[in-house]
């Protein structure tokens, strides 16, 4: 099914080259190169603290890199003027970890929000669109609820309906599976895959939940210490020889990522006189 | 929608209340309400010393306010203060020309105002007229000084 | 010793950086006026939560402050036989000082802290970030309507405070203590000048509204996005607003009545 689009446009939707980003004195990204192909689910994986959310914010233009470039659909994100950046963002959806629903509005108004802000549609048109988007995430019946009345999984699905309200070319998912029970996790996995296939949205997924992520992605990048250490299809990664990747994918407690925080030898530490 | 309407009504009420309050402060609390909307004519008087008289101080005849002090300036030619009074137009040609203008104090420590004692002349004050007979303000230090040196004859009133 | 100096330096630099950020925020806030003109509804909703919800505390406080002024003023003035100046005393202290200042302090406590907490929580729950990613500028969409609602509300609330204060003073003075009604109002009208007193009081309250709302919005927008950060920002809003109001009141009074 991805064949036709590949023929239509072979160039990647997002092209990251030599990205360097520093927080304080620590380099979070140090020469990162990533290509995100159109119309597919690309996962970016890595242990906590590798700056996966930061990467999404960099792609969305909310943060500025210290060096390197990020191109989305051929436009260098950080060379755009503010209005141009805002126009580009209208074509990107982002699903935040918490959902980031506006708490003073109902579910319906939250999904209608981007439509009301960016289009001049009549209320009856907006109503139709909102109900369709809510139907797509299975929450048409919850339109009258306030965000505080939703469970975490439902809030994320509403946020997803909001993210696709303007029919974006790309959706970025920030840790969509964290803190979900198995059922809502399954629902989300299915939703992401279905949205991607049905409307050919490019999906970028940032996660450290190995099993779910591998199950739905077409392409996986594993990052550690600010660089890509491994990339390829999920099958490739599962059989990859890389020691680091094996530890991460199989969840081994010790390996290249040590179990122990760096410390002097236990023996010396214990024998040392108390201060 | 219902909630929106409620908000609209409340905000409308708030705005109305706020402007009523401002209007109240302007008309009932401050002197704006007592300012004459009608026309006035100007009469001047020269004083040796105006004490603490200020612009907008009342001008009274027999205790009734007939106008306000419109301007005060010093005339360096005859070393006196020139006070312009804006008198309500209804008293045009109704105040005798030889009226006596005094600077008085409301109460012991109150504000100073100009009191006019009507004279007996047939000629009346017209616009731009001048009151020639004036009495200066009572300056407390001078009164006390005169009292101490035993020269005081006029005394405090 | 050097450690202490370094700490002092860092504290000073942080303070300056914060002051700089606060001023840089003013530009987008003012530019947000355009989106408000296009969507007055945004302002309306904020006028409700910033202005209308503050009316109650202003009403009660204004009435009681006026009654206390009437009572205290009467006891002091009657010693000099100057009860007739009661109206002037009550009105002058309200219109010039107490109305704008107390309204601003109450506003900072009631509306300012709520604004900071609301914006801070929106930041902590990624709502502001989410708006940015939906191509909506939160500075225009969220901050600016609150800012202008504050600037509009405070002068109106201050006028309300002064009016109710005068009414409270009149109730106590005229009703309870038997001060002559005519003297009460006449003294007031002769002593209070519209442009010198009323207009200057309004100018004061506009300035206070501007400063209080600006501080509240900046503290919310600049807070550390955690529950502790939000609570600290809320405290800072009340403290900074109160100090700013009292300090500015001195400067403005010196400029206007000096």
Task: Give the pLDDT confidence of C55-97 residue by residue, as tens digits.
Answer: 999 999 999 999 999 999 999 988 887 777 888 889 999 998 9
Residue of A nearest to C127 (CA): A100
pLDDT of residue B36: 52
Looking at chain C, which subunits does it touch, using at least 3 CB pairs closer than 8 Å as the criterion? A, B
pLDDT of residue A214: 84
pLDDT of residue C248: 94
Task: Give the pLDDT confidence of C42-56 residue by residue, as tens digits.
Answer: 899 999 999 999 999
pLDDT of residue A4: 44
CB B80 within 8 A of CB B47: yes
- Rounded Cα distance between C152 and C146, Å, is 10
Residue A32's nearest CA partner among A2, A63, A58 is A58
Q: Do A101 and C133 touch (CB under 8 A)?
A: no
Residue A93's nearest CA partner among A165, A178, A200 is A165
Task: Give the pLDDT confidence of B92-115 residue by residue, as tens digits.
Answer: 888 888 888 998 887 666 678 899
pLDDT of residue A3: 43
A and B touch with 3+ CB pairs <8 Å, answer: no
Query: Is the model's pLDDT at B78 over the cut of 80?
Result: yes
Q: Do C45 and B22 touch (CB under 8 A)?
A: no
3-state secondary structure of C181: helix
CB B67 within 8 A of CB B90: no
Question: Which of A112-121, B32-41, B120-129, C150-159 is predicted with the least confidence, judged by mean pLDDT?
Answer: B32-41
CB A106 within 8 A of CB A146: yes
The percent helix, strand, coil of chain B (3-state, each to 5) is 30, 35, 40
Of C126, C129, C135, the CB nearest to A118: C135
Which is more confident, B122 or A127? A127
Task: Give the pLDDT confidence of C183-219 residue by residue, as tens digits.
Answer: 788 788 877 888 888 899 999 999 999 999 999 999 9
Instruction: Name residues of chain A where pLDDT drops below 70.
Output: 1-10, 241, 256-258, 274-275
Taking CA atoms, B91 is separated from A125, B68, B96, B154, in Å, by 72, 13, 10, 32
Q: Where are the domains of chain B?
A: 1-30, 40-145
Which long-range contacts (C-beta less than 8 Å, at least 24 apart) are formed by A119-123?
A: A119/A166
pLDDT of residue C72: 92
ipTM: 0.81
Q: Do C48 and B7 touch (CB under 8 A)?
A: yes
pLDDT of residue C41: 87
- C226 at A interface, C-beta within 8 A: no
């Amino acid at each position: 099914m991805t064949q036709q689009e590949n023929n239509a446009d072979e160039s990647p939707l997002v092209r990251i080259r030599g990205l360097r980003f520093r927080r304080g004195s620590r380099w979070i990204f140090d020469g990162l190169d990533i290509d995100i192909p159109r119309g597919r689910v690309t996962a970016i994986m890595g242990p906590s603290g590798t700056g996966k959310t930061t990467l999404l914010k960099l792609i969305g233009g909310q943060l500025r890199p210290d060096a390197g470039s990020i191109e989305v659909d051929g436009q260098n994100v950080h060379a755009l003027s503010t209005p141009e950046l805002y126009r580009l963002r209208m074509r990107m959806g982002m699903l935040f970890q918490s959902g980031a629903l506006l708490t003073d509005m109902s579910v319906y108004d939250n999904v209608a929000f981007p439509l009301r802000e960016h289009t001049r549609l009549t209320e009856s048109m907006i109503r139709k669109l909102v109900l369709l988007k809510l139907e797509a995430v299975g929450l048409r019946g919850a339109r009258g609820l306030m965000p505080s009345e939703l469970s975490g999984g439902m809030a994320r699905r509403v946020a997803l309906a909001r993210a696709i309200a303007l029919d974006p070319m790309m959706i970025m998912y920030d840790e969509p599976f964290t803190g979900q029970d198995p059922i809502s996790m399954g629902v989300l996995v299915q939703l992401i895959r279905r949205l991607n296939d049905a409307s050919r949205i490019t999906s970028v997924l940032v996660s450290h939940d190995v099993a779910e992520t591998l199950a739905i992605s077409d392409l996986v990048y594993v990052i550690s210490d600010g660089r890509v250490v491994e990339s390829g299809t999920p099958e490739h990664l599962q059989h990859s020889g890389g020691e680091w990747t094996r530890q991460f994918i199989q969840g081994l407690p010790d390996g290249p990522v040590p179990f122990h925080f760096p410390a002097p030898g236990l023996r010396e530490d214990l024998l040392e006189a108390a201060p | 929608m219902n909630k929106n309407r409620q908000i609209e009504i409340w905000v409308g009420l708030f705005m109305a209340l706020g402007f009523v309050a401002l209007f109240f402060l302007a008309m009932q609390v401050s002197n704006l309400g007592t300012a004459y909307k009608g026309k006035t004519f100007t009469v001047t008087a020269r004083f040796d010393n105006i004490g603490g008289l200020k612009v907008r101080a009342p001008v009274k005849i027999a205790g009734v306010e007939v106008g306000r002090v419109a301007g005060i300036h010093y005339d360096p030619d005859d070393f006196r203060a020139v006070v312009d009074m804006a008198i309500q137009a209804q008293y045009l040609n109704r105040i005798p020309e030889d009226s006596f203008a005094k600077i008085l104090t409301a109460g012991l420590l109150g504000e100073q105002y100009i009191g006019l004692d009507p004279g007996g002349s047939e000629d009346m004050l017209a616009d731009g007229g001048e009151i020639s007979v004036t009495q200066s303000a009572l300056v407390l230090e001078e009164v006390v000084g005169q009292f101490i040196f035993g020269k005081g004859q006029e005394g405090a009133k | 010793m050097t450690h202490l100096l370094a700490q002092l330096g860092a504290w000073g630099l942080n303070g300056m950086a914060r002051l700089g950020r606060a001023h840089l925020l003013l530009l987008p806030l003012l530019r947000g006026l355009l989106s408000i003109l296009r969507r007055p509804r945004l302002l309306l909703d904020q006028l409700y939560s910033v202005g209308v919800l503050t009316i109650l505390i202003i009403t009660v406080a204004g009435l009681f402050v006026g009654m206390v002024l009437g009572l205290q003023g009467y006891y002091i003035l009657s010693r000099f036989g100057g009860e007739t100046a009661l109206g002037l005393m009550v009105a002058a202290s309200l219109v010039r000082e107490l109305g704008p200042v107390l309204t601003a302090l109450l506003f900072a406590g009631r509306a300012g802290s709520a604004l900071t907490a609301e914006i801070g929580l929106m930041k902590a729950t990624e709502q502001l970030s989410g708006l940015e990613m939906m191509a909506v500028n939160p500075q225009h969409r969220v901050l600016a309507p609150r800012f202008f609602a504050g600037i509009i509300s405070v002068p109106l609330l201050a006028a309300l405070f002064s009016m109710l204060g005068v009414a409270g003073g009149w109730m106590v003075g005229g009703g309870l203590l038997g001060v002559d009604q005519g003297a009460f109002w006449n003294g007031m009208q002769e002593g209070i000048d519209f442009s010198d007193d009323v207009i200057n009081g309004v100018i004061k309250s506009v300035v206070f509204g501007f400063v209080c709302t600006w501080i509240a919005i900046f503290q919310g927008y600049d807070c550390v996005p955690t529950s502790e950060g939000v609570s600290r920002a809320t405290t800072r809003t009340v403290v900074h607003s109160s100090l700013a109001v009292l300090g500015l009141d001195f400067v403005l009074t010196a400029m206007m009545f000096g």
